[in-house]
Structure 1
């Protein structure tokens, strides 16, 4: 399945979720160049500190502007006590378009984000909110990523599923 054929389902996140973990400030332009990409090193730090014993979240927040601007990524677990160097971020309630991508990692994540960008480039797509987006990884299914992209409530026509 090519990334452009991954279609989202719309869900309503009814309560906030706090995620604590390691973080980095980056941009899509930076991540597009292996010489400057920050996310592989972030994953390396996270895995060295204990890896995937539970559900893992990679939260995208503090958007400078849109897909072209800088953002912060917090890679971790649902909030617990933070340790030195960790940050806690709140995933805001609201509507999310959820894209599911399966395969070898990180290729499945890359394919999933390519599907996100293709979907939101369509003229009838809802508008992204650029509040908090997140990837969700389950330890029992390590070859699947669920990418949740916040959409503006007034711009989404479909009725969401409550999550």
Structure 2
């Protein structure tokens, strides 16, 4: 994991509202979102993003997930990735298992005290290749 400053940008794509609890069962909405994305995306050579936003609270609340590609401007449907500090966690291996395993690593990491905490603004997955990705988690200084 590595801390990075990210300049804000837009991702254009379809969105669903869900929660981690909903995604652990057979009714999870994220697999269908990605299925629709791949079925409707004519150019799969573009870098793909999974963006987590509009958090209700923390990892236990609801949030939006957008599957899409980078856009030049604020487009609808889509989402703006906030500028700021992020921790970057690499995901290597067969997808989506590598992404799922990396999320488990992230939850474990943030279960411990650090000088920073999750911002719960925007987080995103960036897919770099068939077996390579990065998950960026927005962070802020820990509240006292």
Give me the TM-score of the superposition, normalised by structure 1.
0.81
1:145 and 2:133 matched: yes
Once superposed, what is the RMSD of the aligned Cα atoms? Answer: 1.8
Of 112, 121, 137, the residue aligned with 1:122 is 112
Q: Which runs of 4+ in 1 moved over 3 A?
A: 80-83
Q: CA contact under 8 A between 1:17 and 1:92: conserved in structure 2?
A: yes
1:45 and 2:36 matched: yes
Q: 2:84 maps to what in 1?
A: 94
Of 17-26 and 51-60, the range deviating more from structure 2: 51-60
Q: 1:5 maps to what in 2?
A: none
Q: CA contact under 8 A between 1:20 and 1:80: conserved in structure 2?
A: no
Q: 1:11 maps to what in 2?
A: 4
Shift of 1:54: 0.7
Give me the TM-score of the superposition, normalised by structure 2.
0.91
CA distance in 2, matches of 1:87, 1:75: 10
Number of equivalences: 141
**SS, match of residue 35 in structure 2:** helix
Structure 1, unmatched stretches of 5+, are 1-7, 156-163
Q: CA contact under 8 A between 1:22 and 1:46: conserved in structure 2?
A: yes
Q: CA contact under 8 A between 1:120 and 1:126: conserved in structure 2?
A: no
Structure 2, unmatched stretches of 5+, are none
The structure in which a higher percent of residues are strand is 2
CA gap of 1:82–1:48, structure 2 versus 1, over 3 A, is: farther
Shift of 1:126: 2.0
CA distance in 2, matches of 1:67, 1:125: 19
